[in-house]
Amino acid sequence: MEFKRRSAPKVNLASLKLQRRDFLKLGAAAAASTAAVTSAAIISSTPSHAQQMDAAKKWVDSEFQPSTLTKEQQMAEMEWFIKASAPFKGMELSTISEILSIHDYESKTLTKAFNDITGIKVNHELLDEGKLVEKIEVEIASGKPIYDFWMNDSDFIGSHPRFNDIVDGSLTDFMAGNGKEVTNPGLDLKDFIGLDFATFTDGKLYGLPDQQFANLYWFRYDWFQKPELKDAFKKKYGYDLGVPVNWSAYEDIADFFTNEVKEIDGQKVYGHMDYGKKDPSLGWRFTDAWLSMAGNGDKGLPNGKPVDEWGIRLENGLPVGSSISRGGDANGPAAVYATTKFVEWLKKYAPPEASGMDFLEAGAVPGQGHIAQQIFWYSAFTHALSQPELPVMNKDGTPKWRMAPSPHGAYWKDGMKLGYQDVGCWTMLKYAPLERVKAGWLYAQFCVSKTVTLKKSLISLHLIRESDIWHDAMTQIAPKAGGLVEFYRSPARVLWTPTGVNVPDYGRLAQVWWQNVSKAISGEATPQQAMDGLARDQDAIMARLEKSGVQGKLGPKMNEEKDPEYWYARAEKDGNIAPQRKLANEKPQGITVDYDELLKTWKAQQPAKKT
């Protein structure tokens, strides 16, 4: 979610390193700000109802346009917020989210609007996602509030229910119980496209989606259209240059640009971009569904059942292991294949400096104009890679690049997820005083209200509501968004999902990924040895959770180890996929599709409204 990953830059890619240093400095300020959690600080003066209505009209007229609501409907929604917030007027609250442009807008603009309209002041801090995860783990472990409420990735959907750390037990129960009077009747949960990702096996909601972006394939559309390059590619590889459908085609295209084309307009070009520094962000590079793209795990959406893309097997709702000896798939042939290709491509087709970069450092590189394609690219970078001064932009403001569905590996089967989608959710932990949690819930809903979300989506290019996706304003920006709007309007988007319910302790389990994968990159271990280490470490963490009993009846119950052959045969007998036996041929014929033809096949028909 996660550090995930993903702390995408706020606006300017050139400032990534400076931002990162600045963000690390926020630690001391964060510590100071949390003192507000234990006392309801009072603002010196509070607005009257008339002043609040005037403020709401000002914000609706000047900032919150366009909207899927009429202005009259927006004002009605704002009046509800004014009335519901009356008991909390004068409070000062604290919250935190990862560093993304959407949260920058919230922290600078929406906090001011919310204060003007409700009289509640929110200190909305932004922090590197890795440090945010560390903080929320401290609060959960200690039971002492650090913030009043949180923005936390839905990747924790397997953790929060098992640690029983949400107010009233779940957000569903909170909205029907202690939070009923402060739950917006116009919230319209059915309009959220990521609600399933924040829902546990009990069918209850544990977080409210606020931001969302996908991990997609990125490529230089202009280069792929050059007749001379298309002819040269087909002559060498025997099929058309286009969007790769499988990893074989991606590898051929990477080889073509790196070793055959070599230069375009006098500049050295590369057919692949990635990063490999031994750093927590290397873990996200894998946990953000890299293994699912290869074909690891089972069929099922939003995640494989019974084995997910972390290789963790779930039986009767309980995690039972990730090693193939316990029925998992973290060190099976598909996982080893995924790691092998990652290392191979990084070393053979990416710029030499890529192996020493982390997530933030690598994020700027495609915008420099010498990368032909990237298999693992977060759409959160859309705004940053659309800056008019970049060499990847046309003079008319349209991008020279496009995003498209991710290609899949040799082990992938129809019915599996195909990539990762980050969904940041408002998370109401139970440790802060209830009245402060309720006031924070109002701010959370304000940030995702229909009054606000369309404008926020147009600014940040994070799409969370179906109604926003299909608004005319979104159609108008589509030509400058590089395929983002088309993707979210397509039926394909359901194949991109976050980490799911199989992962019982996201924070701890995520740590062992980068520690093991880095050994394969450095040559300290083979890909098989690295994934064996990962499976061993994940199983050890889950075994400790089982022994401690901290997660009660929802915690892991580890399978006894058996010969992998037992589990291969079991999967075949049960009609499942994972763990898969090693394929005789891990590089089938490359397949591509023309990008413009791909858009036509999506047909862009609005999905049926959820019931």
Average pLDDT over residues 214-229: 97
Q: What is the predicted pLDDT for the residue at 12?
A: 41
- In this prediction, residue 175 carries a pLDDT of 98
User: Distance between CA atoms of 98 and 498, rounded to whole angstroms?
Assistant: 16
- Rounded CA gap, 426 and 225, in Å? 43
What are the phi and psi torsion angles at 557 (to 5°)? -140, 90
Which residue in this structure is represented by tokens 């829902």?
Answer: 199
Contact of 291 with 335, CB cutoff 8 Å: yes
- Structure confidence by residue, pLDDT tens digits, 37-63: 333 333 446 788 999 999 999 999 999
Residue 98: partners with Cβ closer than 8 Å, 6 or more residues away: 3, 4, 6, 7, 126, 127, 128, 129, 132, 151, 153, 424
567: which 2 tokens?
Answer: 């589990």
Alpha-helical (H) ranges within 401-505 are 434-447, 450-460, 466-469, 472-477, 484-489
Whole-angstrom CA distances from 571 to 145, 352, 531, 568, 580 are 44, 41, 20, 5, 8
The residue ranking higher by pLDDT, 3 or 529, is 529
> Residue 384 pLDDT more than 60?
yes
- CA 447, CA 209: separation in Å to the nearest integer? 10
572-576, long-range: CB < 8 A, 24+ apart: 576/298, 576/299, 576/306, 576/307
Query: In this predicted model, what pLDDT tens digit does every residue of 114-169 receive, in sequence order?
Result: 999 999 999 999 998 889 999 999 999 999 999 999 999 999 999 999 999 999 99
- Domain positions in the chain: 13-37+49-213+424-482
Residue 21 has pLDDT above 60, yes or no: no
User: Within a 10 A sphere around the Cβ of 556, how many other Cβ atoms?
Assistant: 23
Average confidence score pLDDT of the chain: 91
According to the model, what pLDDT value does residue 364 have? 86
Where in 266-413 does DSSP place strands (E)? Answer: 267-268, 313-315, 318-321, 373-378, 401-404
Reference 34, options 404, 364, 436, 411; nearest CA is 436
Rg (CA), the chain: 24
Give residue-wise pLDDT tens across range 586-599. 999 999 999 999 98
The answer to whether residues 506 and 499 touch, using CB atoms and an 8 Å cutoff, is yes
pLDDT computed for residue 7 by the predictor? 37
Q: Which residues pair with 161 in a beta bridge?
A: none
Q: Classify residue 180 by burial, with Cβ atoms within 10 Å: 0-12, 13-18, 19+.
A: exposed
Instruction: Write out the H or E segment, with its range, that includes residue 115.
Output: helix 111-118
Q: What is the distance of C-alpha 539 from the center of its chain?
A: 25
Cα–Cα distance for residue pair 288/6, rounded to 1 Å: 10
Q: What share of the chain is helix, strand, coil (3-state, %, to 5)?
A: 50, 15, 35
Q: Which amino acid is at 265?
A: D
- Residue 248 pLDDT > 90: yes
Structure tokens at 265: 């307009």
pLDDT-derived band at 608, boundaries 50, 70, 90: low
496: β partners:
419
% of the chain surpassing 90 pLDDT: 86
Over 60: is that where the pLDDT of 29 sits?
Answer: no
Spatial neighbors of 292 by CB under 8 A, at least 6 apart, are 304, 309, 412, 416, 417, 418, 419, 420
- The rounded distance, in Å, linking the Cα atoms of 15 and 361 is 10
DSSP 198-210: GB-TTS-B--EEE
* Residue bearing the bigger pLDDT, 76 or 129: 76
Q: What is the pLDDT of residue 160?
A: 98
pLDDT at residue 20 greater than cutoff 60: no
Coil/strand/helix, residue 525 = coil
Confidence band, pLDDT 50/70/90 cuts, at residue 575 = very high
Q: Tell me: the pLDDT tens digits for 438-452?
A: 999 999 999 999 999
Q: How many CB atoms lie within 10 A of CB 267?
A: 11
Cβ(464)–Cβ(103) under 8 Å? no
- Higher pLDDT among residues 320 and 33, named by residue: 320
Instruction: Write out pLDDT tens, residues 276-314.
Output: 999 888 999 999 999 999 999 999 999 999 999 999 999
pLDDT grade for 603, boundaries at 50, 70 and 90:
low
CATH dotted code for 13-37+49-213+424-482? 3.40.190.10
Residue position matching structure tokens 């116009």: 186
